[in-house]
């Protein structure tokens, strides 16, 4: 029988190890204003988080994760660089256990991102020592670089980048932009209609202008649609390489060789591949066997994620015991203009205790 | 005693009474015409509970009523994992309504969910907040949009006169039930071509918590 005390002891043990690195301990509120989290994750988070209401403050959310409050606290008055650790409850509707302890560690450091990536990974490896877990790593930065390097319009690139964490949507867009999917009948009819007159005439004929979205916004997108329809598809070779990249799963060193081999054809990924190589060297220096370390290019591409570089998980079967990654862009979103490279992760002590088994 | 929950007002109540009447259960309002009281003739041990259609899913889930008539839209929106809490006995063939996503007719650039997603992204950049969709069907709309990968929207609650929210600038789009589409057109709105979330109709449900030969017999008696 797994007791709360056993889980607590597991958490305390990991937390002590994190604190021993000299990281500052952070306390975060249990009850958070819902607005920031909704703006960041979108409405989807309502299906997972517990939302409650305060007559004065409006919607509040029981802490669904620590990252947002920790980043906010850092952006307000953090040291630079800084290392933080924390331990506390998070609440998610969909997990088997709706209320669970998390122990986490975050590094905010501008100097050597690949070193920080390796430091966090090694710290989590050490915290999980003795448990039957398997690591897996990825790098969303490589995917993003590949998208940014496509020979196509900025509009198409930003549409793909916006949906990088929604694999099905990303795939549908890429299929359309590369000409693999036929033009949908509804879109074809729409394009035909848009081409039949000026935007302002068509808008006037469609009905009165109502709502906040004004005529200029409607006309601008109508024009963009026509422009996009006249844009040639993403070249088949480039598209094929991107599809290949999305599927890439290999031991990290083999993945690196593969990426280095395709980099001459996708020059935009070269800096990201160099970063990947430096990270593997940094991991080697911390005793990680990168020859065998699993790498999956699409790891971390799930809705309600925000990782944009290195990502990692430690798994036992289908369970994720620990997970983390780099989220440089998030600090910019939450930092109101300020930003700082950041990497971190969390451990799930209730799963660790389960793996440890009854004593 | 078997408790049957029936909508307490209007055509939905009348048609439900007719439906049961044709199957040998005569339902009537009793007492003062403003009093929410009713009776069932033609079966012993059956009582009528007159309720707001919106509360019937909750009462079924809790097992406080054994059978209940309400819209499929309400059951699926109000009950998480509805299949585990109620089962459908029979669709009643009336109260048809489609839950749809509608946008201003003047949006000549938006025809599908894909367009809505792209418009939402541009709207957020231009206005600094997510594109607002007014609805009372929060769960159904959110699940639908999530499964289609639409982002940068927010749901704003609207319990009535939802078609007017766009003109009043409290929302940019709506998700609401419609039968003929006339109210939408009158308010200068059009339906997305792939914006049908659910086709709803009045349906007789049985509470999962209500088991027993008495209820089995009653359901059999009305022909199911």
**Which domain CATH number covers B30?**
3.40.190.10
Same domain flag for B117 and B188: yes
For residue B110, the chain A residues in CB contact (below 8 A) are: 221
This complex has an ipTM of 0.90
Q: Is A285 exposed, middle or buried (0-12, 13-18, 19+ CB in 10 A)?
A: exposed
Q: What's the confidence (pLDDT) of residue B193?
A: 95
CB contact under 8 A, B106 and A203: yes
Please tell me the CATH code under which domain A4-28+63-145+242-356 is placed. Answer: 3.30.930.10
Cβ contacts (< 8 Å) between A333 and chain B: which residues? none
Residues B196 and B211 in one domain: no
**Overall average pLDDT of the A20-43 stretch:** 94
Q: What is the mean pLDDT of residues A198-215?
A: 96
Determine, for residues A186 and B154 on separate chains, whether the beta-carbon distance falls below 8 Å.
no
- Shared domain check, B75 and B155: no
Same-domain pairing of B165 and B183: yes
Where does residue A40 rank: exposed (0-12), middle (13-18), buried (19+ CB within 10 A)?
Answer: middle
Residue B98 has pLDDT above 80, yes or no: yes
Residues A22-35, mean pLDDT to the nearest whole number = 95
Q: What pLDDT score does B6 carry?
A: 96
Say if residue A50 carries a ligand binding annotation. Answer: no
Find the domain containing B42 and state its range.
2-95+201-221
- Asked if B123 and B144 sit in the same domain, the reply is yes
Instruction: Tell me the per-residue pLDDT of A336-351, one tens digit each, with 9 for 90 and over.
Output: 778 899 999 999 999 9
What is the count of structural domains for chain B?
2
B69 vs B67: CA distance, rounded Å: 7
Tell me if chain A has a CB within 8 Å of the CB of B185.
Answer: no
In this prediction, residue A274 has a pLDDT band, given cuts at 50, 70 and 90, of very high
Give dist(CA A215, CA A197) in Å, integer: 15
pLDDT in tens, A295-309: 999 999 986 778 999
Q: Please state the rounded mean pLDDT for residues B201-208.
A: 97
Spatial separation of the C-alpha atoms in residues A339 and A341, rounded to whole Å:
7
CA B138 – CA B157 distance, rounded (Å): 8
Closest residue in B to A168 (Cα) is B149
Q: Do B104 and B165 fall into the same domain?
A: yes
Kindly report the backbone phi and psi dihedral angles of residue A113, in degrees, each rounded to the nearest multiple of 5, phi listed first. Answer: -60, -40
Nearest chain B residue to A220, by CA: B109
CB contact under 8 A, A212 and B151: no
- C-alpha–C-alpha distance, residues B96 and B77, integer Å: 16
Looking at residue A54, its pLDDT comes to: 92
* Same domain, yes or no: B21 and B103: no
Touching check for B81 and chain A: CB below 8 Å?
Answer: no
**Residues in chain A, how many?**
359
Quick check: A79 pLDDT over 90?
A: no
Burial of A266 from C-beta contacts in 10 A (0-12 / 13-18 / 19+): buried
Q: Tell me whether residues B149 and A166 touch, CB distance under 8 A.
A: yes
Q: For residue A160, give the chain B residue with the closest CA.
A: B118
Averaged pLDDT of chain A: 94
Q: For chain A, what are the domain ranges?
A: 4-28+63-145+242-356, 182-232
Contact B108 A38 (CB under 8 A): no
């Amino acid at each position: 029988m797994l007791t709360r005390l056993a889980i607590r002891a597991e958490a305390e043990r990991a937390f002590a190890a994190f604190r021993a690195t000299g990281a500052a301990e952070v306390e975060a509120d249990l009850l958070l204003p819902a607005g920031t989290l909704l703006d960041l994750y979108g409405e989807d988070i309502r299906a997972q988080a517990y939302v409650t209401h305060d007559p004065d403050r409006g919607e509040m959310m029981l802490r669904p994760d620590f990252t947002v409050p920790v980043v906010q606290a850092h952006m307000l008055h953090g040291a630079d660089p800084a290392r933080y650790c924390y331990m506390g409850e998070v609440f998610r509707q969909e997990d088997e256990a709706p209320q669970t302890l998390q122990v986490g560690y975050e590094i905010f450091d501008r100097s050597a991102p690949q070193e920080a990536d390796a430091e966090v990974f090694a710290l989590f490896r050490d915290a999980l020592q003795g448990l039957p877990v398997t690591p897996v790593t990825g790098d969303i930065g490589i995917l993003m670089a590949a998208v940014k390097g496509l020979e196509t319009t900025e509009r198409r690139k930003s549409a793909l980048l916006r949906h990088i964490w929604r694999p099905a949507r990303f795939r549908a867009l890429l299929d359309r932009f590369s000409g693999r999917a036929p033009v949908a009948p509804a879109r074809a009819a729409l394009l035909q209609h848009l081409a039949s007159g000026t935007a302002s005439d068509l808008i006037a004929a469609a009905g009165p202008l109502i709502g906040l979205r004004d005529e200029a916004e409607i006309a601008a997108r109508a024009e963009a649609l026509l422009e996009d329809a006249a844009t040639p598809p993403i070249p088949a070779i480039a598209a094929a390489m991107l599809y290949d990249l999305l599927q890439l799963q290999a031991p990290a060193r083999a993945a690196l060789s593969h990426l280095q081999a395709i980099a001459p054809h996708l020059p935009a990924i070269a800096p990201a591949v160099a970063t990947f190589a430096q990270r593997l060297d940094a991991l080697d220096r911390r005793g990680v066997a990168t020859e065998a370390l699993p790498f999956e290019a699409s790891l971390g591409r799930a809705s309600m994620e925000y990782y944009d570089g290195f990502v990692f998980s430690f798994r036992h079967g289908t369970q994720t015991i620990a997970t983390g990654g780099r989220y440089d862009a998030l600090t910019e979103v939450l930092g109101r203009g300020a930003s700082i490279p950041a990497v971190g992760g969390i451990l799930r002590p209730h799963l660790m205790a389960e793996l440890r088994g009854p004593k | 005693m078997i408790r049957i929950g029936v909508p307490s007002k209007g055509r939905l109540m009348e048609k439900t009474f007719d439906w049961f009447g044709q199957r040998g259960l005569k339902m009537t309002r009793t007492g003062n015409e403003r009093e929410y009281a009713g009776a069932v003739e033609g079966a012993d041990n059956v009582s009528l509970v007159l309720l707001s259609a919106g509360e019937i899913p909750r009462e079924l889930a809790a097992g406080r009523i054994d059978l209940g008539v309400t819209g499929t839209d309400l059951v699926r929106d109000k009950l998480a994992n509805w299949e585990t809490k109620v089962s459908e006995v029979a669709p009643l063939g009336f109260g048809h309504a489609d839950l749809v996503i509608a946008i201003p007719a003047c949006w000549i650039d938006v025809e599908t969910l894909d367009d809505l997603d792209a418009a939402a992204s541009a709207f957020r950049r231009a206005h600094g907040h997510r594109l607002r969709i007014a609805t009372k069907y929060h769960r159904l709309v959110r699940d639908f949009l999530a499964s289609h990968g639409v982002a940068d929207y927010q749901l704003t609650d609207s319990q009535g006169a939802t078609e007017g929210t766009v003109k009043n600038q409290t929302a940019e789009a709506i998700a609401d039930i419609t039968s003929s589409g006339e109210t939408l057109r009158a308010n200068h709105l059009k339906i997305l071509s792939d914006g049908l979330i659910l086709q709803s109709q009045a349906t007789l449900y049985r509470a999962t918590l209500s088991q027993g030969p008495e209820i089995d017999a009653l359901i059999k008696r009305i022909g199911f």
